[in-house]
């Protein structure tokens, strides 16, 4: 949702020819890669934390969701962007996906295929980023904070579900 929110902001900037594809590729790639890195790191410590896995998954999701809520209530960095360059896109892709590395750690705690999960995350982020640019072209920036707040609430609720069930 943070990549979606940033994409909405980028779409509202003006010249957006090819920006949907560019945003989708940058954000989708990094959102798939970072949880995979977290998953690989998490596999090495899984045996040590297995008894507390539900608490750890809840904590990570609550922290990431809380961060998204906080950022959704703040002004975005998109207002400061003058030109949409590849360097700037790389920086945004890393910034919006760094918390996905921590979420990737929780993939070791769940009974799922992490490779498939990372692929789905990447494809979904690609689609949301492309759609975000298109929405930003038409709506301006009024949706970007709402998307991040919604995403934060969803992550916190998923964490609670893991803890309770």
Q: What is the pLDDT of residue 145?
A: 67
CA–CA distance, 77 with 54 (Å, rounded to integer): 34
Tell me the three state secondary structure of residue 84: coil
pTM metric for this prediction = 0.71
Domain spans, the chain: 2-164
Closest CA to 79 of 150, 148, 12: 12
Task: Confirm if 52 and 104 have CB atoms less than 8 A apart.
Answer: no
Provide the residue-wise pLDDT of the chain in tens; the chain has 165 residues: 778 888 887 887 766 788 999 999 999 999 999 999 988 887 777 667 667 767 877 887 788 778 878 877 876 555 555 567 888 888 888 888 877 887 788 788 788 899 999 999 999 999 999 999 998 888 766 666 676 677 778 778 877 887 787
Place of tokens 């700037």: 88
pLDDT computed for residue 64 by the predictor: 76
Alpha-carbon radius of gyration of the chain: 16
């Amino acid at each position: 949702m943070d990549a979606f929110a940033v994409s909405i902001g980028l779409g509202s900037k003006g010249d957006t020819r090819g920006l949907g594809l560019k945003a989708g590729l940058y954000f989708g790639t990094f959102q798939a890669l970072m949880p995979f890195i977290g998953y690989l790191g998490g596999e090495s410590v899984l045996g040590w934390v297995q008894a507390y896995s539900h608490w750890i998954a809840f904590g990570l999701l609550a922290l990431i969701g809380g961060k998204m809520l906080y950022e959704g209530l703040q002004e975005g960095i998109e207002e400061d962007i003058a030109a949409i360059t590849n360097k700037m896109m790389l920086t945004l892709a890393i910034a919006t996906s760094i918390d996905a590395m921590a979420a990737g750690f929780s993939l070791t705690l769940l009974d799922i295929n992490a490779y498939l999960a990372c692929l789905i995350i990447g494809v979904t982020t690609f689609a949301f980023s492309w759609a975000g640019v298109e929405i930003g072209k038409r709506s301006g920036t009024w949706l970007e904070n709402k998307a991040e707040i919604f995403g934060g609430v969803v992550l916190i609720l998923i964490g609670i579900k893991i803890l309770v069930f």
